[in-house]
Structure 1
Amino acid sequence: MNKAKVLVVDDSAFMRKLISDFLSEDPRLEVIGTARNGQEALRKIEELKPDVVTLDVEMPIMDGLETLKHIMQQHPLPVVMISSTTREGAENTILALQYGAVDFIAKPSGAISLDLYKIKDQIVEKVLLASHANLQCMKRKSKIPIPPQKQYSKIESNEPIKTNTTKKKIVCIGTSTGGPRALQHVLSKLPETINAPILIVQHMPKGFTKSLASRLDSICRIRVKEAEDGELIQKGTAYIAPGGQHLQVKKIGMSLAVHLDESPARNGHRPSVDVMFESLCTLADYEKIAVIMTGMGSDGTEGLKQLKASGNTKVIAESAESSVVFGMPKSAIAANVTDEVVHLDKIADAIMKYVDA
């Protein structure tokens, strides 16, 4: 069996030892080296040719973000970021995902987490998953968008979405590993005049989804925000489920509103794509455009089955070619619930085709 070769990068000797020990216990992984900072990491990558790198966000001499930029420019390979849950740590992690990191792991308690053993299985799982990531789509050079000079203010006074007229549309997107970068590609291409609200479940822990929403809002023409319980849903706005909470839709009078709860995780996920999709099944007077993108596993497939059975639903799946991890889209395609399978670059066009139909 070919083991995935891993380079562990962290400025803490304790953290390097702990992460290396966790990974080495799995027979599918081999830690071939460690590095104390970004400069040393770049030398070790050149010398050791690892398959995956775990990369601490906060380091002296050359931090994780700067190191990641060099890796993706010089030696593109799967990188898993190791991050603190501070506000700055979360913001830098979101930037790292936009720059090309496959995934991230949140330290449970600060830069030196003595209780890192609590997430040992998650560390091993994410590194293994990264070793199988679609390197070709990661190598594809994608410019980080420059925030547009808005000549208008984002629509804050939209009428809440009413439920008593015909031909109303609602877009719902589910994604996981590789999702933040995929969401950037899709949402940045949608016009601010889109005649539908957008609901998003991105598998991500508590403390990171607000930074994700803020980052996406800064580069998109539509408004992007972390969803709040009870708020009325508006056209031209994308609502991202907060980490650790399920996102559903409920009717309040003639309007639609966000409903968040901390009910049990579904198949290990909270927020769950299935839960979001299923909540839209009762909206008989809506046409639903459901999108399933890159991610491991099958979250979303059961929800898509129910959406298709409820009628008035078009389903777009991301293609294997552009998916960082072709798990969630593959599951939906295999279940025969998709209407289109398209490259990431074409998903926004496919959404608008159905919204404008």
Structure 2
Amino acid sequence: MSAAGGTRAVVVDDSRFMRTLITKLLEEGGVDVVADASDGEAAVEVVAEHAPDVVTMDIEMPRKNGIEAVEEIMARCPTPVLMLSAHADENADITFEALDRGAVDFVTKPGGEVTSEMPRVKRELVDKVRSAAAVDLNARGRSVTRTPTAQASAPAGTAGTRRPGPLPEGGTVIIGASTGGPNVVEEVVAALPREADLRILVVQHMPEGFTGRFAKRLDSRCGYEVREARDGERVGPGQVRVAPGGSHLFVDDDRADRLRLRLRGGDRLHGVKPAIDHTMTSAAEVVRGPLTTVLLTGMGRDGVDGMGAVKRAGGSTIAQDERTSAIFGMPKRAIEAGHTDEVLPAHGIAEGILNTLRN
């Protein structure tokens, strides 16, 4: 049991063994599992009864699957839900659908065997649960709330500012995000006009096996060519590359208007891989021409040092504001460190990017 004031969780899975394993891992990490459920229908009732801080949700279950349960929980008793997903293309698609329906994040489901990886699996699961429990469920609704009057009266450099003008001609944009980020990343990239000829790198904290599907989703929802990054490739105007889960993404050259990318293994940084800091810091050293970095919602401090490096190199830096951030962790720390030029709501970030490149 966790101490008073600790995170309270409900575990949902149709496998008794998996419920027992997840409960054990969470409680060893200081999370109080107050109840469990074996299917989605029971999950809705248990969540309504116990009012936990967070729910871990399996996807495939009898009576009511995980996606249906998420939708009903959000309608009846809104609670942060963390999806537990297996490594498979079909599970990746279903997991992203769960995020669309209201789930706040996902983590790879632990395997049943006890291996040397179990301490890392436990740490990742516990960190994800605590991060999910801290999510502001109202942030997504606020991100699409636009008030023309407020935008018109907002002082320069604040959320809502708009400085219309011709499209910039090229430039490099790096977007970093963690918990609550996939939907915001999609919103921002989809709002960037293809005619701006930007080179865009996205570093979204996400497990290996899911970033490829995330890239395909982005590709279908914007005018840019979006792919998962490959080691040694060059990226030019009109292209977006997503850092693969399980690898750090570096920029090691900028020649003939094309960035050369490198993928590296090595240790996790800030407990994550890919790390936003590595991509931003390497870009600050080699990118020629306008460079803008954006730090979106997420727990922790990844991206803070990278934003500082870009700012010192003369680039522009934007942080998502508290009101539209699911978790105002990474952006807040960058702001407090003095590494951000602008703080903008999710729906104003694309225009903010264009403004920095115009200027």
Whole-angstrom distance in 2 between the partners of 1:216 and 1:92: 16
Amino acid at match of 1:261: R
Task: Give CA deviations for 1:35-82 in whole Å, capped at 9, x if unaligned.
Answer: 111111112222222221110012222211222122223322111111
* SS of residue matched to 2:175: strand
Determine if the alignment matches structure 1 residue 249 to structure 2 residue 251: yes
* SS of residue matched to 1:317: strand
Task: Give CA deviations for 1:82-111 in whole Å, capped at 9, x if unaligned.
Answer: 1101111122222222332222120244xx
Task: Give CA deviations for 1:266-293 in whole Å, capped at 9, x if unaligned.
Answer: 2322211111111112336311111011
Residue of structure 1 in register with 2:332 after alignment: 330
* SS of residue matched to 1:135: coil
Unaligned runs of 5+ in 1: 144-165
* SS of residue matched to 2:285: coil
Q: How does 1:1-357 map to 2 (within 5 A)?
A: 1-27=4-30, 29-109=31-111, 113-115=112-114, 117-118=118-119, 119-138=121-140, 168-251=170-253, 254=256, 255-283=258-286, 285-311=288-314, 313-357=315-359
* SS of residue matched to 1:81: strand
* SS of residue matched to 1:282: helix
Residue of structure 2 in register with 1:147 after alignment: none
Whole-angstrom distance in 2 between the partners of 1:18 and 1:139: 35
Task: Give CA deviations for 1:234-283 in whole Å, capped at 9, x if unaligned.
Answer: 22222100011111223375332222122333232221111111111233
In 2, are the aligned partners of 1:83 and 1:104 still within 8 Å (CA)?
yes
Deviates more, 1:116-125 or 1:281-290: 116-125
TM-score normalized with structure 2 length: 0.85
Whole-angstrom distance in 2 between the partners of 1:40 and 1:141: 32
* SS of residue matched to 1:347: helix
Whole-angstrom distance in 2 between the partners of 1:284 and 1:167: 15
In 2, are the aligned partners of 1:227 and 1:239 still within 8 Å (CA)?
yes
Structure 1 30/88 Cα, relative in aligned 2: closer, same or farther at 3 Å?
A: same
In 2, are the aligned partners of 1:167 and 1:287 still within 8 Å (CA)?
no
Amino acid at match of 1:355: L
Residue of structure 2 in register with 1:160 after alignment: none
Whole-angstrom distance in 1 between the partners of 2:292 and 2:29: 41
Structure 1 182/167 Cα, relative in aligned 2: closer, same or farther at 3 Å?
A: closer
Whole-angstrom distance in 1 between the partners of 2:235 and 2:329: 30
Whole-angstrom distance in 2 between the partners of 1:25 and 1:283: 44
Shift in Å, 1:168: 4.7
Task: Give CA deviations for 1:101-152 in whole Å, capped at 9, x if unaligned.
Answer: 222120244xxx2349441222222212222221321565979xxxxxxxxx
Whole-angstrom distance in 1 between the partners of 2:286 and 2:7: 46
TM-score normalized with structure 1 length: 0.85
In 1, are the aligned partners of 2:87 and 2:108 still within 8 Å (CA)?
yes
CA RMSD of aligned residues (A): 2.3
Amino acid at match of 2:259: L
Over the matched positions of the two proteins, sequence identity in percent amounts to 39
Whole-angstrom distance in 2 between the partners of 1:219 and 1:285: 28
Shift in Å, 1:17: 1.4
Whole-angstrom distance in 2 between the partners of 1:301 and 1:99: 30
